[in-house]
Amino acid sequence: MAVVLITGCSSGFGKLAALGFARRGDTVFATMRNVAKAGALREAAAAEGLTLEILQLDVTDRASVDRAVAEVIARAGRIDVAVNNAGIGAVAAVEDFDDDEYLRVFDTNVFGAIRVTRAVLPHMRKQRSGRIINVGSLSGVVPSHFRGIYSATKSALGSLTEALFYELHPFGIHASVIEPGFFATEIGANRMETRRQASSDYAPLLAKYEPGGSSAPEGSKRVDPQPVVDAILEAAFEEHPKRHYAVGNDAVALTDLRKRLPDEEFAQLVLRSMPTLDDQA
C-alpha cells in the first residue's frame, strides 16, 4: 500500500481523494491549512470505518510545508504519492485584481504546489519512485472571461507538470495534472472576491455571467465529483499514467474544440456565450 500526502483536504476534491485512497488501505496524510475544519473529513472517514491521519499544512508557508513532510517521513518512512490539491478560486475581471490579491491566488495555487513538490522530491528520488499529481482545471486549458487570474495559475500548473515529467523521468518519478471541468464542490463558495469587483465597470457583465455559469457544452451542469477522484487514483497507480487528465464532459468537449478549431472560430464560439452590456438583466 502507498503512503499518500494530500493538500487542501478540508473539502472538495481533497477530502474526497483522501477517502478514496483510504478505501484502498493506503496510509493517508490528509492535510489542510486549518485543522479546525477537519470535522467533515473525520466524520466521513468514521462513517466508513476508514483510517487516515490529519496534519496541518499551509502551502503558502514554507516552514509549515517542510514540517508536515518531515512528520510524514518520520512516521511512515516514505512518500509514494503527493497530491497538490490546495487552491483558491477567484472570479473577477483581470483589471479588478490589486497586486496583493492576484499574488495571493498565485501563492496558493502555483507557488504552494511548488513548495510541496520541492519538499517531497528528495525522498522520492531516494526511493527512485513516486507520483506528483497536480489538480489543475479546465480553465487552465481553455481560459474564459472573468477567470483570467485563476486560469493563469492553472495553466502554470499544467506547464510545471510537463517540465516535471521530463526532469523526474530519470528517477522513476511521474508527474500528472488533473484538469476537471465544472463539478459540485465548495470552491465557488470559498473563492476570493476582489475589493473592486462590485463597483467596477465589469460588474454588470459579471452579474449576468455568474448565475448561469458556462453555456458551453455540458458546462452548466454541476455533477458528482467522483470521476475526478477516479482520475487522481488512476494517475497514482496506473503503470503508465497520462500527463494530462481532462475530466468531465465539458472538459473533454472543450479541450477537443480548442485543439481543433482555428483561434478566431473558437473565439466567436466563446463570445456568443458571453453576456453583453446591452443584454436585459
Non-local (6+) Cβ contacts of 258 within 8 A are 141, 142, 266
Which candidate, 242, 258, 239, 260, places its Cα nearest to that of 250? Answer: 258
Cα 31–Cα 228–Cα 34 angle in degrees, nearest 5: 20
User: From the candidates 150, 202, 209, 245, which is the catalytic residue?
Assistant: 150
Catalytic status, residue 150: yes
Q: Is 194 left (phi over 0), alpha (psi -120 to 50) or beta?
A: beta
Residue 200 in grid coordinates: 467596477
Looking at this protein, which amino acid is placed at residue 148? G
Phi/psi at 248 (nearest 5 deg)? Answer: 110, 150
**Nearest-angstrom CA–CA distance, 245 and 57:** 26
Indicate which residues carry an active-site annotation: 150
